[in-house]
A and B are shown apart, each in its own frame.
Chain A
Amino acid sequence: MARKSNNMTHWPRQILAWALVLLLSGCASTAPGPSATQQPEVEARVREPARQDSDGIQVFPLQNPAVKELLADASNAEQTGDYGQAASYLERALRIQPRDPEILQSMAEVQLQMQDYEQALNFATRSYDIGPRVGEICSRNWRTISVSKEYLGDSKGSVDAEKKAAVCMNTKPRGL
């Protein structure tokens, strides 16, 4: 009995501790650090402008239904903030189609979400190298490169990449 009451006296302290934890975690999710790239930023700075750039021009090759399913799974995982799982789906898709610019670009965007700017830059660059280098995906490539470089502290490179995104709507470059 004495024990029980003893426990009871701990209650207020426990509540206080929990409240503190909740408060702190609340802080963490509402006030991100200055370098956190939240999904809205990828949407606002990469995907949406790329959609506008392309003005409906799609140059994606016909997609394998298996890859399509995995891209959809990855996109769903990304929506719920499970970027690790999204990356895992995309890796599986890359095993099926290792040179698919769309998968590589999606991976770059997931890396951006995970704030791994170096890998975001690398995946977007690879996507551009083997991709159509024109149209929406090209625009997403360069916008991802631009955002990544900005966070990596290369502001000139970031501005240059932003400019290249605009050129994606012109004719195909040489070499293709």
Chain B
Amino acid sequence: MSKRKKKTAARRKKASPPKQRRWFGKIWRLGLLLVGIFTGLMLPWVIYLNYQVTTEFEGRKWDLPSHVYARALDLYQGALLSRSDLELELKAAGYRAASDASRPGLYRVSGSTVDIYRRSFGFHDGFEESRKVRVRLGSGKVTAVSSLPAGQSLDLFRLEPSEIAAIYPLQKEDRTLIRIEQAPPLLVTGLQSVEDRNFKHHPGVDLRGILRAAFANLKAGKAVQGGSTLTQQLVKNYFLTHDRTIARKFNEAIMALLLEAHYGKSEILEAYLNEVFLGQQGAFAVHGFGQASLFYFDQPLDRLEANQIALLIGLVKGASYYNPRRHPERARGRRNQVLASFAETGLLTEAQARQQAALPLGVTEKPRTRGTRYHAFVDLVRRQLAQVYQEDDLKTEGLRIFTTLAPLVQEKAQAAVSEGLKQLEARGLSPTLQAAMVVADISTGEVQGLVGDRNPNRAGFNRAIHARRQIGSVIKPLVYLLALEHKQDYSLVSRIMDEPISLRQADGSAWSPSNYDNKSHGEVTLLEALTRSYNQATVRLGMNIGVNHLVSRIQQLGVQANVDPVPSIFLGAVELTPLEVTQIYQSIAAGGFSVPLRSLIAVQTADGNELVRYPLRMVPQPNREAIAVLNYALTQVVEQGTASALPGLLAQSGTIAGKTGTTNDRRDSWFVGYTRNQVAVSWVGEDDNRPAGVTGSNAAMQLWGRLFRQLPIESVDLRMPDGAYWLWVDRNSGLLTLEDCEGAVQIPFVDGSGPAQSTACMSARQDDEESFWRKLLGKKKQ
């Protein structure tokens, strides 16, 4: 090739054209040479760069995540809600306290009054405009709700739900990606005003910008301005290395030009919004504004205010230098610079910018541990989504998933678990104890809170859903329920023997259960045996009823677990998860109307069309009169039985039903309890199932008590349905008696199971009454 070139050159010399021509020819040849070199060397390089940058760009395009919402909080006169509870809910939904609720997303507290400016929101059952209201609270209740500024009273108002997670229902990985159309406009325009004002017009590299920066840098004598376009920054983010060589810059510029040649401005900007490095959490980098919004403010991007958006944009310049948690003053300075730039470009008025600049940073104290907020609950959401919906539905982009989570219940349950375990540790129990808790609404089956680890922010093994543990005495109420269903044989005052019992097991060995206190208590009533959780009496009763009946009853109550039909199940040798135990007790607490526990209410597409709804459905249990009688018996567990220490843990009085559970060698501690409308189950134990020194009342009940000390307590509904009624009986003999006879107590009975005989007191009174009427009517006794 070079030979031929020489030849051509020689021929041209011979032609000896004028001097200028020769010069032109030289330049021409040099040009050709350069083109040759470029084609030979640069083109492959450019093709290589092109391949790299487009692969990266295409590879980083993900589907939009689905948005998971908590339940919407209803506010109405009489709603059981304290001011601090309302504030907790407001904060969870991303509201900020202000001196005036002047914009959507702000609230103002003044004494017992809270003014709220609600954002507009598409609820699962309809869109509602933004609206300003005043809520008055007193003695743990909402006393009035009125609209502002007019002041007319409102019967019902709801807050938009807090967004608890952005998930990919079919994947384990969570990223918070955004679409450019959904990004706050101020973010999109503001970012350009600060980082790249010429973004819309340049081809990827902005020569004017580079010159301006170079001039500014020269003038200042150091690097004060960067000339990088957003596109160049995006490229830099893709191949994060920190060397600032000319070659690197050159490559960046080429790749930026290539990106711009391939993709539109909005695609590039969208990628930038999702890619830019905005912080560091341990070993993980925080990429993108969606993620950063959660990392710094614990709120989705669309709930941020101008000053918060400014802070995030400011971080582009140096996420670690301007880290608002480490260097709040620097961050504030940078944020206010950005706000000034907003004002300069007309995105905010001067007054707005000033007002925003005066606000505190509003950054949460600590970033949430990686992963979603309330991820134990979100875990349940994923599981139920997979059970209920077709995989194809879940592939739809940007679903809106409406759940049953009650943030205030969830927060309190989390605190009850982690603080409760710390307290147990202080009392000498193991620091490695683990726990789980489930709280549900009895009538609707809606799971309001779920905790699966002592550290609620730790993602990982979710004990509430996955830990199968022996349930111990928590099973006993079912044995007594079966007895009460045999109304001709048993009532709560029937007597059974609590004495040593020996049963032959399948392997031929003998099984002789003992009581917790290692004593036998002789003849006791069913009520006593249940409330004091006597093992020997329960096994004897169970043997009269039959193991298979118990197994099928467990299944009937909504739990599809494999249960071995062996006598030891009367004492809870059955492994169930806390969620399954909650399901059993939901049925009992609801008077025999089983409702499948659910975390989902509805799922919509991104534009608000309903995809699926998960309606309330109930399944009635047989023998609901016996269940009603059992409910009373379980209130007596708290009143005078193994859970009698519970009321001392609470702040309010009220009738509560409950049951403690402890397993062999104190490996598991259970407590199940319910009020009128809520059922909650707590479990405490070691992950490796070693003896943990726990009992139902010394551990799980403590956590339960901690939770309900902070929740309103409404008394259990003890009205009897058809087929059961209350009778006055004598406390000791169990005979029918009258209310004012000594030792009279009122106890419910299944119709036909009441005592046939009456006390001497009652008979005497009846004789008296009879003779009175006879005298009055002048009749002779026959």
Contact = CB atoms under 8 A, between A and B. Distances in A.
Given A122-B620, A175-B719, A175-B725, A64 B444 contact: no
Given A94-B443, A175-B721, A89 B125 contact: yes
Contacts of A174: 725
Interface string A102-124: 00000100000000000100110
A99 interface: yes
A98 B677 contact: yes
A170 B77 CA distance: 35
Nearest to A121: B620
A39 interface: no
A68 B444 CA distance: 19
Interface in B70-106: 71, 74, 76-79
B444 A98 contact: yes
Contacts of B442: 98
A85 interface: yes
Contacts, number: 88
A122 B593 contact: yes
A125 B721 CA distance: 10
A143 interface: no
Nearest to B676: A99
Interface in A66-107: 66, 68-70, 84-85, 87-89, 91-92, 94-96, 98-99, 107
Nearest to B145: A66
Interface string B581-599: 0000000000101000000
A130 B716 CA distance: 13
Interface stretch (B283-291, B609-617, B693-701, B755-763): B609-617
Contact of B717 (A65, A99, A107): A99
Interface in B612-669: 613, 615-620, 624
A99 B442 CA distance: 10
A101 to B, nearest CB: 11
A122 B676 contact: no
A133 interface: yes
A175 B720 CA distance: 5
Q: Is the interface of A mostly helix, strand, loop or mixed?
A: helix
Given A65-B155, A66-B155, A94-B443, A119 B717 contact: no
Given A99-B676, A130-B717, A87 B615 contact: yes
A175 B155 contact: no
A126 B618 contact: yes
A173 interface: yes
Interface in A125-163: 125-126, 128-130, 133
Interface in B686-729: 717, 719-726
Interface string B308-340: 000000000000000000000000000000000
B613 A96 contact: no
Nearest to B404: A95
B443 A99 contact: yes
B156 interface: yes
A173 B722 contact: yes
A69 B153 CA distance: 13
B441 interface: yes
A15 interface: no
A16 interface: no
B444 A95 contact: yes
Nearest to A64: B78
Contacts of A96: 74, 76, 79
A176 interface: yes
A69 B156 contact: yes
- Tell which of A91, A95, A96 has the most Cβ of chain B within 10 Å: A95
A119 B618 contact: yes
A46 B76 CA distance: 31
B618 A122 contact: yes
A62 B615 CA distance: 27
B125 A88 contact: yes
Contacts of A66: 74, 76-79, 155-156
Contacts of A122: 593, 617-620
Contacts of A84: 613
B722 A98 contact: no
Contacts of A88: 124-125, 613
Contact of A64 (B76, B124, B591, B613): B76
Contacts of A64: 76-78
B74 A92 contact: yes
Contacts of A129: 591, 593, 624, 721-722
Contacts of A133: 722
* For the complex of A and B, 9 pairs with smallest distance between CB atoms: A98-B443, A66-B76, A175-B725, A175-B720, A65-B155, A66-B156, A129-B721, A174-B725, A69-B155
6 contacts: A66-B156, A99-B443, A99-B677, A122-B617, A130-B717, A174-B725
Interface of A: 64-66, 68-70, 84-85, 87-89, 91-92, 94-96, 98-99, 107, 119, 122-123, 125-126, 128-130, 133, 173-176
Given A96-B74, A123-B618, A175-B723, 9 more contacts: A66-B76, A66-B77, A70-B156, A87-B615, A88-B125, A94-B616, A98-B677, A122-B619, A175-B726
